[in-house]
Amino acid sequence: NTRPLIRQTCFPAVCVLLTSDYFVVSNEYDGHINVDCQRRRLANIPKFTSLSVISLNLNGNHIHHIKGATFSGLANLKHLSLMWNCVPDHLKEQRWPSCSLKVDPNAFSGLKNLTSLQLAGNSLNTIPPLPKQLEILGLEFNHIFHIVKPLGTPLLKQLLLNKNCFYANPCYQSYFIDPRVFQDIPELLNLTLSYNNVTIVPPYLPLSLESLDLGENKITHINKESFANLKHLRHLNLGWNCQRCDHASEPCFPCPNNQSLNLHQDAFLDQRDSLISLSLRGNSLHTIPQHLFVRLHKLQELDLSDNFLAYAIQNGTFYEELQNVVSLSLLYNYEPQKSFSELILSPSIEKMMALRELYLSGLFSRVLSNHSLAPLVKLPRLESLELRMNFICSVSMDAISHSCFSTFPLPSSEQNTMQDSGEDHCFFYYSMWHFKKQICSKNQFFDLSQNNIPWLNASTFRGMEKVVCIDLSYNYISQTLNGQQFTLLSKLAYLNMAHNRIDLYSDKAFQEISGTLKALDLSNNEFHFVMKGMGHRFTFLPHLPSLKILSLANNHIGLRISNILTSTSLKYLDFSGNRLDIMWDSRRNQYLHFFQGLTNLTHLDISENQLKSFPPEVIVNLPPSLQMLRMDFNVLSYFPWGNISVLEKLCHLNLSSNMLSFLP
């Protein structure tokens, strides 16, 4: 679904005055000009005359009519984007009147070099005449649901038609495309028809197709002939056609009598040598037809989440047909109104020798035992195991402590080292998600978030000795960490304990992983911090010499805490969502040096701290190594501009969303 991007260069922008209100910004590169007129409140398209313009962006304006000669001066135009000029009624803001983009018959057809045309969000009822050489056509979010006339674009590679007929943009009828339309586009590679009230797989699809999206429709049967002769199809999405509705977040449309999607066992026979990814998510499946996947020799990604496969996961043999699958998603296959005492996996899963990623969240099993994960011990390539939202309250993983999984070869130290931003570059703010991806990619990762784990001790992690990343967020952990909990985790580099009730009083917290821990997320652990009269300390920080990233966000930290944070290794600190307004109140001075002990800190986020002013004494006591400082979303009416020069390395300062009234 990749759309061509408007090329951005480092060349100076050229601004052309159109009226007293509008400017066109263009960038020139290699003699080619890319013109950006998006969101300029244009009601009419400016008249351009240039042989150098190859790209024009008119998205998000109020253009309601495209006349025949509009683009006559742009003979070499290749990429034209006119999206979101007449948004469909159900999707637009109420203050805007209804409209439908009118396109004169020869408005586009005369553009002999045009290869990409994006017309999403224009309330079009029909497809306008198109240039013959077009390769990419985007028609999403329109009212195009009955296509009879061929497009006249034999070179078309991508046709994007999703969301032309669904609950937020209704058409009140079944979607229809005449077979002649597909016969006229023999080179089509990518077709998207999701969210369109499609009731059957369209017949006579182009044999050239490599990617087909039929998700979020109302298809009830997949027959042997549905994808016949599509021997190049690599990516197929059939998700959410017979929808499971008991935990739906959007309007939900089950099949008649809540039936499952009917899948013929030979439905994918002609894709046996091509199909790489397949989604059958949300189709109310209770069982998997035997031999459905057995011929799919190249299948690598399979999504079976949001079905009713709880018992098939425990007893099924379909795993044996997935010996080349790398990623298997079984998320949210819980049995309605039932939770299992123990997570059980079918022994046949051990046949999936290529498996790297396994997603088992939302199966509702209270105990993770040795027996639970025993079938996984023979999987030599397994890297990531997700077990979120299972209401797990007891964990025992001895079974894998001497398994192939526990001795999975970790990437080299070069791969396992975070990339340093370097002193010569000013990098924008990085989130914890970014660091998680950077540290945990290709490393062993256990996700135990969103469960019921109340307490941690060393035995909790027995069997995870080689793990590099653990996510324990959104549990009920409420204890003082004293340096004994993670003793078995000799490789642990990333630890997420957000959304718990961790007590950080002990100076021995995390000391058992001090040599390896690089990123620590303690955000949203406000339970103890908001208790009146209770003291808190951050004296554990100096004992973590490898720690580079720390999040203490959204903890309401404001009183009875250590006067200064100390670390020689920490580079990134997220302290947003706390109460620095209390700590730096003019009646107190004990916290004026709070960040000064972080001698290598480069990135500091103190947004959303309810700060009304920023004391000059604080800014001169910030670490001189600081490169990025976020103070957005406070209520600052005063900032000590005269003191900012002490931060000689500062290259990014964010003061947006405050109440500042002047600049120096």
Structure tokens at 602: 């480069």
- For residue 237, what is the enclosing H or E element? strand 235-237
Is residue 424 pLDDT above 70, yes or no? Answer: no
pLDDT band at residue 374 using 50, 70 and 90 as cut-offs: confident
Q: Stretch 365-389: mean pLDDT, rounded?
A: 87
Tell which residue, 659, 498, 507, has the closest CA to residue 576.
498
Mean predicted lDDT score pLDDT of the chain: 89
For the chain, give me the number of helices (H) and strands (E)? 6, 35
Cα 323 to Cα 175, 350, 356, distances in angstroms: 37, 9, 12
* Domain ranges across the chain: 308-397, 432-550, 557-663
Is residue 109 pLDDT above 80, yes or no? Answer: yes
Q: Stretch 10-33: mean pLDDT, rounded?
A: 49
- End-to-end Cα distance, the chain: 47
Structure tokens at 514: 């001090």
**What's the CA gap between 368 and 464, in Å, rounded?**
13
- Strand, helix or coil for residue 365: strand
Q: Stretch 342-347: mean pLDDT, rounded?
A: 94
Measured in degrees and rounded to the nearest 5, phi and psi for residue 29 equal -150, 125
Answer with the residue of higher pLDDT: 622 or 21: 622
Q: What is the DSSP letter of 7?
A: P
Asked whether 272 and 228 are in contact (CB, 8 A), the reply is no
Structure tokens at 587: 């009646």
**What's the CA gap between 229 and 234, in Å, rounded?**
13
**What's the CA gap between 424 and 177, in Å, rounded?**
56
Q: Stretch 438-453: mean pLDDT, rounded?
A: 89
Residue type, 311: Y
The sign of the CA dihedral 223, 228, 230, 231 is positive
CATH of 557-663, one of 3.20.20.70, 3.80.10.10, 3.40.50.11540, 3.30.390.30: 3.80.10.10
Structure tokens at 83: 């999206």
Measured in degrees and rounded to the nearest 5, phi and psi for residue 345 equal -120, 140
Is residue 408 pLDDT above 80, yes or no? Answer: no
Please report how many Cα atoms fall inside a 13 Å half-sphere around the Cα of residue 577, on the Cβ side: 14
pLDDT band at residue 21 using 50, 70 and 90 as cut-offs: very low
SS (H, E, C) 134-180: CCEEECCCCCCCEECCCCCCCCCCEEECCCCCECCECCCCCCEECHH
Lowest mean pLDDT among 319-323, 362-366, 541-545: 362-366
Asked whether 154 and 180 are in contact (CB, 8 A), the reply is no
- Beta strands 23-29 and 14-17, pairing class: antiparallel
Residue type, 389: M
- Strand, helix or coil for residue 27: strand
Tell me what pLDDT residue 533 has. 67
Is residue 521 pLDDT above 50, yes or no? Answer: yes
- Total-model pTM: 0.77
- Beta strands 357-359 and 367-368, pairing class: unpaired
The sign of the CA dihedral 363, 365, 368, 371 is negative
Name residues whose C-beta falls within 8 Å of residue 2's C-beta, 6 or more positions apart in sequence. Answer: none
Residues 418-439 as b/e (b if ≥16 CB within 10 A, e otherwise) read: eeebeeeeeeebbebeebbebb
Residue 600 CB neighbours (<10 A): 13
Is residue 217 pLDDT above 50, yes or no? Answer: yes
Asked whether 196 and 165 are in contact (CB, 8 A), the reply is yes
Tell me what pLDDT residue 249 has. 84
CATH number of 432-550: 3.80.10.10
pLDDT in tens, 260-297: 999 999 999 999 999 999 999 999 999 999 999 999 99
Tell which residue, 462, 459, 356, has the closest CA to residue 401.
462
Beta-bridge partner residues of 64: none
pLDDT band at residue 621 using 50, 70 and 90 as cut-offs: very high
Q: Residue 549, by phi and psi: left (phi above 0), alpha (psi -120 to 50) or beta?
A: beta
DSSP string covering 40-104, please? Answer: S--SSPPP---SSEEEEE-TTS---EE-TTTTTT-TT--EEE--SSS--TTTS-TTSPP---EE-
Is residue 122 pLDDT above 70, yes or no? Answer: yes
Q: Torsion angle, CA of 288/279/314/284, rounded to 10 degrees?
A: -70
pLDDT band at residue 421 using 50, 70 and 90 as cut-offs: very low
The sign of the CA dihedral 160, 161, 167, 168 is positive
| Fold equal for 432-550 and 557-663 | yes
Structure tokens at 34: 């890319």
Q: What is the DSSP letter of 186?
A: T
Tell me what pLDDT residue 232 has. 98
Residues counted in the chain: 664
pLDDT in tens, 494-518: 999 999 999 888 899 999 999 999 9
Tell me what pLDDT residue 589 has. 86
Structure tokens at 427: 């990098």
